[in-house]
Structure 1
């Protein structure tokens, strides 16, 4: 009874406008985060109102579907080994060993931070594909060289291996910088070799970061979309492209939903394992006073030469696609289609066409509008939710926080299929409207998938605020919204704008989520860039796509500089 009275008083004290806002947040959570993900189970196992395993039976009897599951797990396991080997090598080259030109090498290794996803895959296909620059070069040197070599499992594995090292160069680099140099020196004074120190002293300290990265790599391989779709061919189809194929037909949407559900269950299981491992682990440093790590020289002459050769070889692999994309973006359609360079073909005509021709600029404009609208909306939602979490501490705010983190536990594929299956018919919860086939569908999906990251970052800013500021404003007679707008928001604004910029960049060239939900009349950049990789794509289209890619890389680079550049060294 007492709790009920407290609840009534608490509700009565809330401003009517704030109460409406809280109600809207609750509606959004129920309608778009909880309902679609519950409804997908109903559509799979209770289709027609009766419990049935028909979808599972259809899946088991579908050779293509089972092969796609097998291929996805093979790719995920393979990437765990290849990405970790390459990623650890990059970090050791740039942070641990004394390699000449390490700062320049680091810039090359960081290129995956400014272009990723469909842009990166299309870039690698442009370089190594049937009509690619490197393929043409190899064919001219070796007349019997097979120009169709770059496709299937090995092509997908190669591209994703070098595409997925971004987290290593960010997080593992930070981890290795925190190693206590005194332990390395102590091991060296005891006569330990360079390899022994690396294996028994350095790598064990990196164990928790390595484990987290391994889980992320496995999940990335399992849910891969762009690389298998563009490079896999018919012989190497994975789960997500197969889900896309099934989702385009009403008769097989239950199969798409079941495949997406399997992907979601795998994600939840792996995240659970990671959380339990981190809780059991004890990775505290035994040193009370840490000294900064000094780069280690490789005393063995042959080993030193091999390390330098490997470092610059990897540098070329990372840099060549970026350089060729930029160079060929200034050439004409003939040079691009034939992968040849001629001084007379260089001009600014491709850039002029993109920014002066509305039909050429439209995909870019569509992506900008989507990215801006979704980024602002998700930041506003995160601000409101963080304000609630900061101001109140009860079971409802606890439930709200966990509900807003739901998209973090589910692959974007499952979220997309849940929205398609749920909102392709009128639903009372959204006013008996149909969202499938509208521009709102993709907008909502962008907001949903970016909520967890945005909430965590904004919430961290809120909880770092000095509570005395708000108390002082309240004592001076300021209302709650005025205090938030004039006192709290200006303090957290820089970090909030940084999150907004990162979200904007992430949405701008998105393909994996976009391909399921985009409106055919408003194709975003990700779709246009992927379409340009098809064999039947016109040379003029490919030229414009290169310009899109260069502009996206430039914008990503600028954003990363302002978000990270002034706070951390390259």
Structure 2
């Protein structure tokens, strides 16, 4: 094999041992559980059977959930792209008054998300919210549960899913060559023509990638449909969760998860093929920094400003609601009525009064730190192998590590729980289902594709001559990597570590399938607080948890994107 032709690899026992561990991990947790899931579903009786599929297709709820998920994904592709592109244009391309303040509001989805974000929107638009009470006062026949069903799910997810646009599309638009825009102006092109034929085509590759991720997010949405969908709008993942919690319906959950996986693969294949056919504009080699464009039309300028500040209100209200209600008593949280007497610090005293109160935070922090660190180390070594030994084996490894991207986290979770609920030789006859370890493994798995892509990009950006110079000075591979290469790529690595960490802390979608009942995470705890039957004190405590979560995430993003140099040189988050 090609990889064995390298003397440095052949006689390097550390690399051989680590490579064997990678092979074991990939087979044990990325390949085998999915194969076993297929076998248990269709060959559990020893012969091939589609009985479970037929039973599922006869279930109106299951079929409706499939249709709802596809519809949700399609609608989100339209709404989120419109909002996401507008956010980036209004803060990075057009000269908008108060753009820095607007940016702070638009960036809030980076510091809280998932169930924490849903909690904020429920405080603003829920049946006991101030807004709902105001609408009932104005319109006596107004339905207190107006914010539910498909409309509510689409509304929340539209504004919740713009984080990647703020991060990656902003970076892409800053890389546009200003000379190209000036040349188009000199040729007499209007602002709309420049935007349509110069700016947006340049952003097309990034938009395509974001659209793929967005469609997958819509297909596998969990927390928003659970909180706001209700019985009116059920999607695939909540339905899988319902079936998985019933011993008699576990196979139905598996088949539904397989349907979701098939849909995901079909969509990804179609989109990736379409992307290859795309014709994208190249950027000039001697580019100048993009200058913000003033909107010439007064009418358009006013409309853009109005929409920008309307979005500012939409993004800001849930954050303010969480902060304000975290300082109120349980009566105010339950009734939605705020008075001066309602405000108190007791919630914060309660949250820090004992280790038991902080337990969900401690558990989530432990999972977040350990899994983020392990997945970064794992992917760094894989990326290093792919760069150093570019051959068929490393190419195959690259494809296998993309499995979590092609399969929804729901199917991955179902596969892990079904496979490792009994002793398996591949994991030394250990039962993992129902232990604290299976959730850690799940977190690592789902974060591999994104972490690997960033790690490869960072490593491939390092000049080979730097590594060769270190070797010529007598440094071995390990010392060269730690002392020479790692300091060069540390900003990218810390960035992906931070994004993984803040994504894991409030996670619910994967956690709900794998967590240990005695070790309840922050996402599970906050999700319980969104229910109408939740105890008022529990809601108050989880509001405090969410505020602390936002503070932690803000601190991490500031440290990583500020001090480590993401803002030096004009790239990254400003």
TM-score bin (small chain): over 0.9
Q: 1:382 to 1:268 in 2, by over 3 A?
A: same
Could you tell me whether the CA contact under 8 Å between 1:131 and 1:338 is conserved in 2?
yes
1:280 paired residue number:
277
Q: 2:458 & 2:280 partners in 1: Cα distance?
A: 27
Return 302-311 or 193-202, whichever deviates more: 193-202
Instruction: Give the superposition deviation at 1:287.
Output: 5.4
2:242 paired residue number:
245
Q: Please, which of 525, 538, 541 is the counterpart of residue 535 of structure 2?
A: 538
Q: Please, which of 254, 259, 282 is the counterpart of residue 262 of structure 1?
A: 259
Instruction: Give the superposition deviation at 1:478.
Output: 5.1
TM-score, scaled to structure 1: 0.92
Q: 1:145 & 1:177 partners in 2: Cα distance?
A: 46
Could you tell me whether the CA contact under 8 Å between 1:115 and 1:556 is conserved in 2?
yes
Could you tell me whether the CA contact under 8 Å between 1:502 and 1:559 is conserved in 2?
no
Q: 1:325 to 1:462 in 2, by over 3 A?
A: same
Instruction: Give the superposition deviation at 1:226.
Output: 0.7
Q: How does 1:106-121 map to 2 (within 5 A)?
A: 106-121=103-118
Q: 1:490 & 1:98 partners in 2: Cα distance?
A: 37
Q: 1:85 to 1:6 in 2, by over 3 A?
A: closer
CA RMSD of aligned residues (A): 2.6
Instruction: Give the superposition deviation at 1:222.
Output: 1.0
Q: How does 1:215-234 map to 2 (within 5 A)?
A: 215-234=212-231
Q: Please, which of 355, 359, 362 is the counterpart of residue 358 of structure 1?
A: 355
1:204 paired residue number:
201
Q: 1:127 & 1:98 partners in 2: Cα distance?
A: 30
Instruction: Give the superposition deviation at 1:24.
Output: 1.9
What does the per-residue CA deviation read over 1:239-272, in whole Å, with 9 as the maximum and x for residues that have no partner? 0101111111233222212221222222222222
Q: 1:172 to 1:379 in 2, by over 3 A?
A: closer
What does the per-residue CA deviation read over 1:285-305, in whole Å, with 9 as the maximum and x for residues that have no partner? 375654444433334333332
Q: 2:273 & 2:323 partners in 1: Cα distance?
A: 45
Q: 1:95 & 1:269 partners in 2: Cα distance?
A: 34
What does the per-residue CA deviation read over 1:83-120, in whole Å, with 9 as the maximum and x for residues that have no partner? 12222222232233332112211211121111111111
Could you tell me whether the CA contact under 8 Å between 2:91 and 2:103 is conserved in 1?
yes
Return 196-205 or 556-565, whichever deviates more: 196-205
2:11 paired residue number:
13
Q: 1:464 & 1:290 partners in 2: Cα distance?
A: 20
Q: 2:307 & 2:118 partners in 1: Cα distance?
A: 23
Could you tell me whether the CA contact under 8 Å between 1:416 and 1:445 is conserved in 2?
yes
Q: How does 1:370-409 map to 2 (within 5 A)?
A: 370-409=367-406
What does the per-residue CA deviation read over 1:483-537, in whole Å, with 9 as the maximum and x for residues that have no partner? 5445544554444333323222111111110011111111100001010011110
Q: 1:424 & 1:216 partners in 2: Cα distance?
A: 31
Return 285-294 or 129-138, whichever deviates more: 285-294
Q: 1:461 & 1:91 partners in 2: Cα distance?
A: 25
Q: Please, which of 63, 68, 75 is the counterpart of residue 78 of structure 1?
A: 75
Return 355-364 or 342-351, whichever deviates more: 342-351
Q: 1:172 to 1:21 in 2, by over 3 A?
A: closer
Instruction: Give the superposition deviation at 1:551.
Output: 1.2
* 1:49 corresponds to 2:46: yes
2:503 paired residue number:
506
Q: 1:291 to 1:497 in 2, by over 3 A?
A: closer
Q: 1:51 to 1:303 in 2, by over 3 A?
A: same
Could you tell me whether the CA contact under 8 Å between 1:131 and 1:339 is conserved in 2?
yes
User: Runs of 5+ in structure 2 lacking a partner?
Assistant: none
Q: 1:41 & 1:311 partners in 2: Cα distance?
A: 48
Q: 1:27 to 1:129 in 2, by over 3 A?
A: same
Alignment partner of 1:344: what SS?
helix
1:167 paired residue number:
164
